[in-house]
Structure 1
Amino acid sequence: MSQSLQKLFVGLTYPPALSLCLIVVALALLVLRRRRGAAATFVAAMAWSALWSIPMASDWLRGRVEQRYPPVDEAALPRADAIVVLGGGMRYGWLDRPDVRPEDLENSRLAAGARAWLAERAPIVILSGGGENGGEGSDGSEARMMAIAIARLGVPPSALVLEERSHNTRDNARYTAQILERRQSRHVLLVTSSLHMPRAMEQFRSEGIDAVAVPVPERARRVTWKQRWFPSRSALWRSGRAFKEMGGLLMVRIQN
């Protein structure tokens, strides 16, 4: 499958994108005087995005993906040649906290990597994140920003190896494999979100890397009825991420 078709497929996994396409189809049916078909298609388009904007529906959907790799305790992890932490954005709000500790950050990939290193599961931490977020006016690659952040959690620069070329999960696996080959290593602890882990494991194993999953949860705390059932943009975005991972995993399996 071509790159353009892959991007189109993944783009349509975001519920509003598919809803918009269905609305266009509904308009075409209306022009053709297929009023019942147009009405049914329009209702389906609106219902699709409305459904996945409900927080409980979004959480259920994400749970179907996340349940494959539930969180594990760092003490139960095997020893490995390296800990690989995949980038997931360059915003670390906890950096402003005066006394931040790895155990305080349940949903942080960097904290999970730091905890594994502090538990002496591996001698080095490979931080994988390229320059798509860098460039003019930025502080550099995502891996460099990760290095600054993980240092606050007790991992010294001497234990870090930066992979700064990747722009997607396939690149993460490919360039990490090159680093491991130079170091004559292949056993790693792979740290990423529970949602992203199935696709990441497929990519890393396809590169011949012996990876053990260290999934990081992305839990949303919902206490009130409104937080659980009232439609929100955040829930719609979270649903879109789940569909994107499902679509991406399908593409990986087709290619492999």
Structure 2
Amino acid sequence: MRLQEQGWRVFYYLSKVAWFFATPSNLLVSLVLLGLVLALFKRLRRFGIGLSLVVTLATLALGLLPVASYLLIPLEERFPPFRDDGRPVDGIILLGGAVEASDSVSRGSIVANESAERVLDTIRLAHRHPNARILISGGGGTVFGDGAAEAPIIADYFKSIGIDPARILVEDRSRTTAENAVYSRELTKPKEGERWLLVTSAWHMPRAVGVFEKVEFPVVPYPVDFRTAGGARTHRPFAFVSEGLRRLDIATKEWAGLIAYRATGRTASLFPGPQDPSGGSASR
């Protein structure tokens, strides 16, 4: 197990460093700057100016046109919205990524980000299924060292709003989606026939379901935090370049993650989907 954890650590650091440079918004800005630097040299001036101009126009196009929406739609629509069929729920798994842990510690109050629906919907599910256990999975860590873990912060918040502490399980070691699955299974030891809901962003659900299936932890997808409206509204341009680029970063990261996880054996298929399209689905 220790050797496996060392492999996960190497994968984590390599993926973080590689993604910093490959993130579309970072890459585009870097290319513009590179063009400006090249323009300082007489022999490369025309090429440098041309590069900066082309990349600047590409940045505007990618930020304003619905390119990001087209990339997000297949991810977000891979699993249908959850529909409560009345069957009992034994547990609820909340994957981290909705709270800024370091900021929360610094402020002494929970600081949520744009994925706050993960937390909000888990609270709603906790009230709807009062006998279900609640597993919060999310550790800390950055490329430069260990950081505050997210799961304990969310757990403390849940307790402060009246959720029974005896129901809450905290998994604070994981730093990747693959580790979420492995450590969650270790902690919960799910029994055959138990029904666990998996709460995470809709665009993240395919990869999340894939890794849980890989470790033989059956889960029922409960997608939240949709970034696209669907239908004809998918084709609408963005009002702000920053908005389009932010969603482009999310979409490309998730597609890259799917490819990397399949290549390294963390998932059994490139694009995990519903095993039974008619099972476990339907409305909130």
In structure 2, do the counterparts of structure 1 residues 220 and 254 end up closer, same or farther at CA, with 3 Å as the change threshold? closer
Query: The residue matched to 1:208 in structure 2 has which SS?
Result: coil
Counterpart pick for 1:124 among 129, 133, 158: 133
Inter-partner Cα distance in structure 1 for 2:45 and 2:80: 47
The one-letter code matched in structure 2 to 1:63 is I
Inter-partner Cα distance in structure 2 for 1:55 and 1:157: 46
Task: Note if 1:61 corresponds to 2:71.
Answer: yes
Q: Which residue of 1 aligns with 2:158?
A: 150
Q: Which runs of 5+ in 2 are unaligned?
A: 1-6, 102-114, 230-235, 266-284
Task: Note if 1:45 corresponds to 2:55.
Answer: yes
In structure 2, do the counterparts of structure 1 residues 129 and 19 end up closer, same or farther at CA, with 3 Å as the change threshold? same
Inter-partner Cα distance in structure 1 for 2:214 and 2:28: 34
Deviation (angstroms), 1:254:
0.8
Q: TM-score scaled by structure 2?
A: 0.66
Counterpart pick for 2:124 among 115, 121, 142: 115
Inter-partner Cα distance in structure 1 for 2:58 and 2:206: 25
Task: Note if 1:6 corresponds to 2:15.
Answer: yes
Task: Note if 1:250 corresponds to 2:277.
Answer: no
**Paired residues, what number?**
231
Q: Which residue of 1 aligns with 2:210?
A: 202
- For the Cα contact (< 8 Å) 1:131–1:167, is it kept in 2? yes
Q: Which residue of 1 aligns with 2:182?
A: 174
The one-letter code matched in structure 2 to 1:59 is S
Counterpart pick for 1:239 among 248, 254, 259: 248
Spell out the pairing of 1:82-97 with structure 2 (5 A cutoff): 82-90=91-99
Segment drifting more, 239-248 vs 59-68: 59-68
Inter-partner Cα distance in structure 1 for 2:82 and 2:172: 28
Inter-partner Cα distance in structure 1 for 2:163 and 2:54: 50
Query: The residue matched to 1:145 in structure 2 has which SS?
Result: helix
Q: TM-score scaled by structure 1?
A: 0.72
Inter-partner Cα distance in structure 2 for 1:130 and 1:107: 17
Q: Which runs of 5+ in 1 are unaligned?
A: 93-105, 222-226
Query: The residue matched to 1:155 in structure 2 has which SS?
Result: coil
Counterpart pick for 2:198 among 190, 205, 218: 190
Inter-partner Cα distance in structure 2 for 1:193 and 1:252: 18
Query: The residue matched to 2:247 in structure 1 has which SS?
Result: helix
The one-letter code matched in structure 1 to 2:150 is E
- For the Cα contact (< 8 Å) 2:100–2:150, is it kept in 1? no
Segment drifting more, 159-168 vs 15-24: 15-24
Deviation (angstroms), 1:209:
0.9
In structure 2, do the counterparts of structure 1 residues 152 and 79 end up closer, same or farther at CA, with 3 Å as the change threshold? same
